[in-house]
Amino acid sequence: MLKSTLSILAGAGVLALAGFGIYAYHSPYAVEPPSARPAFDPAQVEQGRILAAAGYCATCHTAAGGAPYAGNFPVTTDFGTIYASNITPDPETGIGNWSKAAFRRAMHEGVDREGRHLFPAFPFDHFTKMTDADVDAVYAYLMTAVAPVKEATQAPTIPFPLNQRILQAGWKLLFVDFGRYTDDPTKSAEWNRGAYLVEGVTHCGACHTPRNKVGAEEKSARFAGATIDAWSAPALTAANPSAVPWTAADFTRYLSTGAGVYHGIAAGPMAPVVHAGLRELPASDLTAIGVYLGDVVGAPEADPAASPAVQASLAAGRPDPAWRADEGERLYATACAACHYNAESIVAERPELGINSSTRLDDPSNLIHVILDGVSSAEGTPGVVMPAFRDALSDQQIAAIAAYLRDKRADLAPWTDLETRVAQIRAHQGTH
């Protein structure tokens, strides 16, 4: 009896493995030399350029100091480092010999031309929602407007057995809902357009949704916020700690200009997303994204300028003629207040730090990053810069300013171990 049971279990195991092997296997696509590729419509190429920007493809597929789209940008994960692939039209080291069908499969299914499963550092779980026409437009742009670069992609440092690509088929089976975006008939056309862009090509959830122990987005915590490159990607839900709730118009303005009146600026990893990416979209698409995200966050109808938090922050920021006994307040008055002063109303170019997102997050990292390294002309509002205080203020002084803003201006529970966190971020940024 035992022998018979074991035989049945072994047979079932063999069948399961065979079934998984059939599911996981993808045959290679034939090589398509550039000479066999027809010319693309210029309008399609331009649409592809806009979509590639909105998906910030160049940001992840360009190494520091490297040629655009030539790959080898390091993506650090809990399992090792994955190097972004070369997606220039070089036929040897890039995708120059890929057919349109092969490119679609990579975008929609996470499988390359040779039939190998791609690691999910590439957000195919979002790109699967893109239409064939949009994917084809990106293909046309890469094959036509991007210069071919001969540069081999470095091997990932993921250890065995996690580096076996066939295992990614199991990961996909568990965590990916493949298929194109379908409209929600209960919502407006504008809402659906925004949802298509956010869930697909712009893949906002890839950074703003926490991941589980095997690197998949936690569907039950969609847009709940996450940590990216030692920065906090805030929640895009009602759990966002902003003193002034985000509205659809706030999202659209922020993504169009890189700055919001009541929330802060696009800095750190978010800067290229806005300035080298989403801003390329037409105004109607940015408005649609705002409508969708405004619905996700539960946008209120009230005028934010009348918010008690705004009024309290403005009052707290008015100059106090009395001697400032608190070190953080003194340092703020001398180093920060000249630019961050608002009187009766808030000016977008003068962030009101009492309600700024960076002072209200549970993690002080974003505020510390900006104090240390400032805001360059490529970040935030075009033409407006903030100086870096890395070489002007000590860890203790920056910690004192952050503590003052958190306590006296935001009126929130204090951050702990601030000075240690400043030192960590100073050292981390100094290595990049």
Annotated binding-site residues read 57, 60-61, 204, 207-208, 336, 339-340
Integer Cα distance of 400 and 30 in angstroms: 62
For residue 164, what are its two tokens? 């076996």
Residue 357 Rama label (left phi>0; alpha psi -120 to 50; beta): alpha
Contact 309, 300 (CB under 8 A): no
Look at the alpha carbons of 372, 378, 381, 387 in this order and tell me if their dihedral is positive or negative: positive
Non-local CB neighbours of 10 within 8 Å, separated by 6+ positions: none
Integer Cα distance of 369 and 233 in angstroms: 13
The C-alpha R_g of the chain, in whole angstroms, comes to 24
Query: How are beta strands 264-265 and 259-260 bridged, if at all?
Result: antiparallel
Tell me which residue of 288, 287, 266 sits closest to 275, measured CA to CA. 266
Task: List, as residue ranges, the binding site for heme c.
Answer: 57, 60-61, 204, 207-208, 336, 339-340
3-state secondary structure 289-323: HHHHHHHHHCCCCCCHHHCHHHHHHHHHHCCCCCC
Contact 71, 87 (CB under 8 A): yes
Integer Cα distance of 10 and 228 in angstroms: 44
Q: How many CA atoms lie within 13 A of 373 on its CB side?
A: 17
Look at the alpha carbons of 15, 20, 22, 25 in this order and tell me if their dihedral is positive or negative: negative
